[in-house]
Amino acid sequence: MDKGYELNRWLCVTALFMASLNLRPVVSSIAPVLGSIQHDLGLSGAVSSLLVSIPVLCMGILAPFSVKSSERLGIERVITLSLILIGGSSLLHVFIHSASWLVFTTLLSGIGIAMMGPLLSGFIKKHMADRAPSMIAIYSMALALGAALGSSLTSPLYGRFHSWQMSLSFWAIPVVLALPLWLNMLKQLPSRSKLSSTVSFGKSVERPWHKRKAWILSVQFGMLSIVFYSLLAWLPLILLGAGATKLHAGLMVTMFALIQVPSGIVVQQLLKKHRSRRNWLIISSMMQAAGLLLIFFSTYLWFAVFICGLGSGMLFALLNLLPVEMTSSSEEATSWAAMTQCIGFLIGASGPLLMGYLHDRMGHFNEGILVMVFISVAMGILSLTMGSKKET
């Protein structure tokens, strides 16, 4: 393998990591300052949930359009434009002084995230198909790290700036770091690779909408999204309601996010020992359900958050790996990813809204936690019908 190719490959890996890093901070940074936002703008719990649900809805509704955009502009260029939109909308947070402006900037961020998300699977299939499990692990790690940074650093930033607007705007910085990498990558990719970004997508690609496994993956992705985004929005308050102190709740939320960072690597190593994707899907679902059940009973909260976060991270890595493994081209992988994210995120957007509604009605999160336990168990049951061509 020549040195030029190695340079391009390492540049692709780094660019993939930095781009993926920007898909979650915009959403995960909301929860740590949600109380201040509610106080300053006078928002109810249900309306506050929109700040998490809007990006998730965008990811669902706009996922198919990202495929169409890539047909015209190419995967790499659409990701670049998406990064610019995410960074620009983050900077606009500085000027927020009304609920409508906050919703508008959140919508812009959601559009950028939605356009970029499905294309990363196609990017991996196109440039690094021979190392798909490890690349998905890096992709999952970057997403988890982005979520962890957003949830753990926003509160200290708020303490430093005394402004939730400035704290949210801070998350334009990772975009500024990622953009030069993508622009450099576009220059150094072989010309035939650039052409395939725009030309090969014009060919007829078999759509996954009539495939049973694609629908199973989509529903599972939706179930995971309901639980993940509900916890992303409400876990601090859930833990406070379970008896944790404010300090411990904050530390546990950070642990929930951080434990998901190495989960992709954990999955990669586990698959080397036991190749059945289906079995690991079932185990991960049960881990998530067990953690939620312990939170419901307000017992062993640290352990509960640990296994819930690890299970959630493993599920995410597995559900992103399967579309890449089950397809034969970058175009098909992107199409599968767009379908799973379209349906999955549309389902998942209901999670934070449902949790906020139940809390407003009941005054606590008990019913919402039980719903998430049921969903996690249902994921495990649905996994019994799931498999892959690499399963033993």
**DSSP structure string for 8-54:** HHHHHHHHHHHHHHTTSHHHHTTGGGHHHHHHHHT--HHHHHHHHHH
Domains and CATH numbers, the chain: 3-383 (1.20.1250.20)
pLDDT of residue 375: 95
Range in 32-46, 84-98, 252-266, 282-296 with the lowest mean pLDDT: 32-46
Range 344-368 burial, b when 16+ CB lie within 10 A, else e = bbbbbbbbbbbbbbbbeeeeebbeb
Q: Is 258 left (phi over 0), alpha (psi -120 to 50) or beta?
A: alpha
pLDDT (average), residues 152-159 = 87
Residue 18 confidence class, pLDDT cut points 50, 70, 90: very high
pLDDT of residue 152: 81
pLDDT of residue 250: 79
pLDDT of residue 119: 86
pLDDT (average), residues 11-23 = 88
Q: At what angle do helices 330-348 and 99-127 cross, to 10 degrees?
A: 150
Residue 128, CA distances (Å) to 10, 134, 206 in order:
10, 9, 21
CA proximity to 76, closest of 206, 195, 207, 208: 195
The DSSP result for 69-137, as a single string, is: HHHHH-HHHHHHHHHHHHHHHHHGGGG--SHHHHHHHHHHHHHHHHHHHHHHHHHHHHH-GGGHHHHHH
Helix or strand holding residue 205 (H, E): none
pLDDT of residue 195: 43
Q: At what angle do helices 366-383 and 212-241 cross, to 10 degrees?
A: 150
pLDDT of residue 46: 67
Distance CA 9, CA 189 (A): 9
Residues 6+ apart with CB under 8 A from 13: 128, 135, 138
- Rounded percentage of the chain residues whose pLDDT exceeds 90: 28
pLDDT of residue 201: 41
pLDDT of residue 77: 85
The secondary structure of residue 338, as a DSSP letter, is H
pLDDT of residue 189: 67
pLDDT (average), residues 206-214 = 79
Residue 27, CA distances (Å) to 24, 53, 56, 314 in order:
5, 9, 9, 20
Rg for the chain, CA atoms, rounded: 20
* 193 has a pLDDT exceeding 60: no
* 254 has a pLDDT exceeding 50: yes
| Residue pLDDT, tens place only, 317-330 | 898 888 888 877 77
The answer to whether the CB of 351 falls within 8 A of the CB of 361 is no
Range in 138-142, 171-175, 376-380 with the lowest mean pLDDT: 138-142
State the chain's maximal CA–CA distance in angstroms: 64
CA proximity to 120, closest of 149, 83, 88, 145: 83
Extended beta strands in the chain, E state? none
Residue type, 175: V
The answer to whether the CB of 294 falls within 8 A of the CB of 300 is yes
Q: State pTM to two decimals.
A: 0.77
C-alpha dihedral (100, 166, 113, 356), degrees to nearest 10: -60
| Residue pLDDT, tens place only, 120-149 | 888 888 877 777 778 888 888 898 889 888
- Highest mean predicted confidence (pLDDT) among 68-82, 131-145, 153-167, 259-273: 153-167
Distance CA 105, CA 110 (A): 9
Distance CA 224, CA 242 (A): 22
CA proximity to 345, closest of 117, 125, 21: 117
Residues 6+ apart with CB under 8 A from 166: 93, 94, 157
Angle at 83 between CA 80 and CA 88, to 5 degrees: 130
pLDDT of residue 388: 45
| Residue pLDDT, tens place only, 225-247 | 999 888 877 888 899 988 888 88
Distance CA 228, CA 99 (A): 24
Residue 267, CA distances (Å) to 139, 177, 379 in order:
13, 28, 17
| Residue pLDDT, tens place only, 32-79 | 888 888 888 887 766 777 787 788 788 888 888 888 888 788 888 888
